[in-house]
């Protein structure tokens, strides 16, 4: 069956179409093909140190299964104990 939405533009509020486990890094940004994840989902509980566009780092405590509707520039290794995936 073909995708009936293939001609529609994909925006920030659209559901993710790709996913991958995120390996936190203090230096490498998350962009894949120029895009950042739309949403972060926590697979194993812990803290997640998110970096925003301004370079500000804020740590969030997340429970397993929790979804954070935020598109971070990077997830730092320092301060991150959770296992997270991103939805692009």
pLDDT digits (tens, 9 = 90+) for 16-30: 778 999 999 999 999
Residue 33 lies in a domain: yes
| Number of structural domains found in the chain | 1
pLDDT-derived band at 8 (thresholds 50, 70, 90) equals: low
Residue 52 lies in a domain: yes
Domain that holds residue 74: 19-87
pTM, to two decimals: 0.83
32-58 residues labelled b (16+ CB within 10 A) or e (exposed): eeeebbbbbbbeeebebbbbeeeeebe
Residue 31 lies in a domain: yes
Residue 59 lies in a domain: yes
């Amino acid at each position: 069956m073909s995708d009936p939405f293939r001609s529609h533009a994909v925006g920030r509020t659209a559901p993710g179409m790709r996913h991958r486990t995120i390996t936190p890094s203090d230096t490498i940004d998350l962009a894949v093909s120029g895009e950042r994840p739309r949403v972060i989902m926590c697979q194993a509980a812990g803290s997640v140190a998110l970096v925003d566009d301004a370079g500000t780092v804020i740590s969030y405590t997340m429970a397993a299964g929790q979804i954070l509707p935020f598109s971070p520039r990077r997830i730092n290794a320092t301060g991150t104990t959770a296992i997270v995936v991103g939805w692009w």
